[in-house]
Amino acid sequence: MAKIPQILLIYTGGTIGMVKDYKTGALRTFNFDKLLKHIPEINHLNCSISSISFDQPIDSSNMNTKNWVDISKIIEENYKVYDGFVVLHGSDTMSYTASAISFMFENLSKPIIFTGSQLPIGDLRTDAKENLITSIEIASAQENGSPIISEVCLYFEYKLYRANRTTKVNAEHFEAFSSPNFPPLVESGVHLKFNKQLIKIPNSKKRLEVRKKLNNNVVILKIFPGITKAVVESILTIKGLEGVIIETYGSGNAPTEKWFVNLLKDAITKGIQIVNVTQCIGGSVIMGQYETSIELEKIGIISGNDITTESALAKLMYLLGENIKKNKFKSVYETSLRGEVSVVD
């Protein structure tokens, strides 16, 4: 007889774990041990569910690298016991956290699915029930005794995305997330439609490695018309700075003024790693396509390709934490490590 999948729910905080006190109208965190009381439909899922909560659930706006390590430790400590993990998280920074976890877990062979909601679980029109039920169902989906999904994903409003491809695009619609450069792995309708050709196949022969050294001496610099030398200089000379995500125009274009290029060049000479990502929601950085990005390519700026800003930042923190040799960093960063960038054949 097939073993029933064991799923661990990890509640970090966020709207999904709130219930409304209808007398006062205030939101409060509910006890996840009483989950079945709020969502009795979970009884019908073909899996066994346990839950664990942060001692102090936090708003996702307060998420930081320490919290990312805390999440990774909970999963690592329970990895052998459970067949899949569902992480409940506030939506505002979910793409950052989920992207970071995707890099921290090397040789993952089980699903880690992030989800949340726009309305609390006790709300009449809540999206929390559907998001939670379907996330658990996908996390417990198996074929020939192995999980169908074995990567870090994000589920929201009928779509399962590769986590490190996502970005939050709407603060009030239920369809809060988008994956502009990569299709959904699963679409939820009357049936769950798994797009199997897109799902990563795990290397089950390799042992799971959890990388918990993250370096957050990084900054995001968004280019805008009229940006001054003083602004760029003040950012690039921050004490202890080791990495910069530079958000450029279109396919990776930036001002060609000498002061701008020279400041970037000086930073690179000092060993600061600079990654070029596009401000556009969709599309890719193609350095050298226009004259306005030729100079960036010449001075050795790293191409982010079609990576999201959230994923680019998480990848930068992860790789800086791995102490990769300076002369190897660019080629490692430009390689797809967890399916976060499109590989051109």
Burial (CB count <10 Å: 0-12, 13-18, 19+), residue 249: middle
Average pLDDT of span 189-218: 94
Between the CA atoms of 283, 287, 288 and 293, what dihedral angle is there, to the nearest 10 degrees? 100
pLDDT score at 191: 94
Where do the structural domains in the chain lie, given as residue ranges? 6-210, 218-333
pLDDT tens per residue, range 14-60:
888 877 777 787 777 766 666 667 788 888 899 999 999 998 888 89
Q: What percent of the chain has pLDDT over 70?
A: 97
Q: Which residues contact 162 (CB under 8 A, 6 or more apart)?
A: 102, 151, 152, 153, 154, 179, 182, 185, 198, 200, 339, 340
Average pLDDT of span 272-282: 97
pLDDT score at 205: 84
CATH number of 218-333: 3.40.50.40
pLDDT score at 1: 55
- Band (pLDDT 50/70/90 cuts) for residue 203 is confident
Q: How far apart are CA 16 and CA 156, in angstroms?
A: 12
Average pLDDT of span 229-236: 98
Mean pLDDT taken over the chain: 93
Active site residue 278: no
Average pLDDT of span 203-218: 94
pLDDT score at 228: 98
pLDDT score at 2: 67
SS3 per residue for the chain: CCCCCEEEEEECCCHHHEEECCCCCCEEECCHHHHHHHCHHHHHCCCEEEEEECCCCCCHHHCCHHHHHHHHHHHHHHCCCCCEEEEECCCCCHHHHHHHHHHHEECCCCCEEEECCCCCCCCCCCCHHHHHHHHHHHHCCEECCEECCCCEEEEECCEEEEHHHCEECCCCCCCCEECCCCCCCEEECCCEEECHHHCCCCCCCCCCEECCCCCCCEEEEECCCCCCHHHHHHHHCCCCCCEEEEEEECCCECCCCHHHHHHHHHHHHCCCEEEEEECCCCCCCCCCCCHHHHHHHHCCCEECCCCCHHHHHHHHHHHHHCCCCHHHHHHHHCCCCCCCCCCCC
* Catalytic pick among 12, 15, 126, 167: 15
Domain 6-210 has CATH 1.20.1370.20: no
Q: What's the pTM?
A: 0.95
pLDDT tens per residue, range 295-339:
899 999 999 999 999 999 999 999 999 999 999 999 999 999 999
pLDDT score at 83: 97
Do the domains at 6-210 and 218-333 have one common CATH topology? yes
